[in-house]
Amino acid sequence: MFGRAGNQGERSHALECRDHRIGRRGRYFTVTRGNLAHREGKNKNQKQEKVRQEPSFFIYGDFAIVSADMFELKRQEGHRRWGTLTTAHGKIETPFFMPIATKGAVKTLSSADMRELRAQILLSNTYHLLLRPGLEEMKRLGGLHKLMGWDGPILTDSGGYQVFSLSGAKLSARGGSAFGGNKTSEDGVEFQSHIDGARLKLTPELSMEMQSAIGSDIMMQFDDVAAGDSSYERYEEAMERSLRWAKRCKEGKTGQSKLFGIVQGGTYEDLRERSASGLVDIGFDGYAIGGLSVGESREDAYRIVKNLAPSLPGDKPRYFMGGGMPEEIVYYVHQGVDMFDCVLPTRNARHGTLFVWSEDPNLISWDENKADFYSKLHITNETHAFDSSPVDAFCDCMTCKTTSRAYLRHLFSVGEMLALRLATIHNLSFYLRLMLELRK
């Protein structure tokens, strides 16, 4: 397992994080790498003489409160965490799920719909917005919040994964520093646009500039993404390059947006540990677990997250990128992950697959292996042709309050666009309700 081992006596009296340890009697400990500095303070806001900002801790009973510039950890049980993340466009309760608004919109839905669904934050993508409308156009438009009429927080992916997955020919896992139509160098990635075939180049500095133009509340570092079945050498190469790019991203970032580093290393724990340690040395506002939605097995993903997540700095938010069947989210929350995004709810909805509760979510007792709390409803099946029941008896979304299974099946069968909208509303409602239940 990653992180400091500590001694058993100390563990019985302290809640331990990677860089910080919290005592039980109103004492707080600040830990700097290679040195444990212990101070007792009566006031949790007491100033400390540190070069970099340190969080402060206070204990109420068995619950630790961790305050930092961006993230407040309110409660922790085992590795599972409850907290609040503060951005320029509002506070977000953790753990949370980010609906995907890749090009500035969640497919089939409006920003008003997302407010109605009580989405706390949306995710958009630098790669797609760099291609259209473009960097200078985005600056002239005043940023994405203004363009799409969304006043909540926005997180932007850096574009690294999309360069990996969308441009040029099918990518080879064994291609070293050149993948199909892509050419990766120390400077950045030259790639072929999936729209018109134009040759373009994306660098850490350009990614930061574009994310700044978007007005992102949370930026992601530009990273080198290796395919899920890559060799150890390719994973190591991508991890080391991503660390160098992470430093360039931090140096190139302007404005008040928060910046997250991305832990890489594939399914190799030693590479993950080296990546995490290097990112913490650089220092970021949060840390993401990347490179685990590119073809690896669920068992490998679970193993990496279980070992990695609890070792990341306890006073910073932790983000699992790009993956998330409902039961996977439940598992990762129990390992200490705070943030999630995934295309599954919206993509499955457009293909007629809906997530439905197997029981009243208010009555579910959650544990890390809980997986029987939902099922998949294939609405286009013949069995629903005369079914007058709602899509989900335990859901109160607009779709379930107004639409029968028979009607929704009919809309899909005749190709009505309304079918996609109604299904998307329901699936996002399911995911957002799942996170609400996990926050209780």
C-alpha of 128 from chain center? 18
* Joined tokens for residue 173: 């896992």
Phi and psi at 339, nearest 5°, equal -135, 140
394-400, Cβ contacts within 8 angstroms, sequence gap of 24 or more: 394/356, 394/357, 394/359, 394/360, 394/361, 395/356, 395/357, 395/426, 395/429, 395/430, 395/433, 397/117, 397/425, 397/426, 397/429, 398/116, 398/422, 398/425, 399/423, 399/425, 399/426, 399/429, 400/426, 400/429
Active site residue 270: no
C-alpha of 133 from chain center? 24
Report the alpha-carbon distance of residue 308 to residue 306 in Å, rounded.
6
Residue 428, SS3?
helix
Alpha helices in 290-439 (DSSP H): 298-308, 326-334, 344-350, 398-402, 405-413, 417-439
**Residue in the structure block whose two tokens are 């029941």:** 389
Note whether 304 and 239 are within 8 A (CB).
Answer: no
Alpha helices in 215-343 (DSSP H): 232-252, 269-282, 298-308, 326-334
Report the alpha-carbon distance of residue 210 to residue 156 in Å, rounded.
10
Q: Of 19, 113, 157, 224, which one is the catalytic site residue?
A: 157
Bridge-based pairing of strands 199-202 and 122-125 is unpaired
Q: Of 19, 223, 285, 341, which one is the catalytic site residue?
A: 341
Active site residue 224: no
Note whether 257 and 282 are within 8 A (CB).
Answer: no
Q: How many helices (H) and strands (E) does the chain have?
A: 15, 23
Amino acid (one-letter) located at 10: E
Report the alpha-carbon distance of residue 361 to residue 388 in Å, rounded.
22
Phi-psi region at 301: left, alpha or beta (left = phi > 0; alpha = psi -120 to 50) = alpha
Active-site amino acid positions: 157, 341
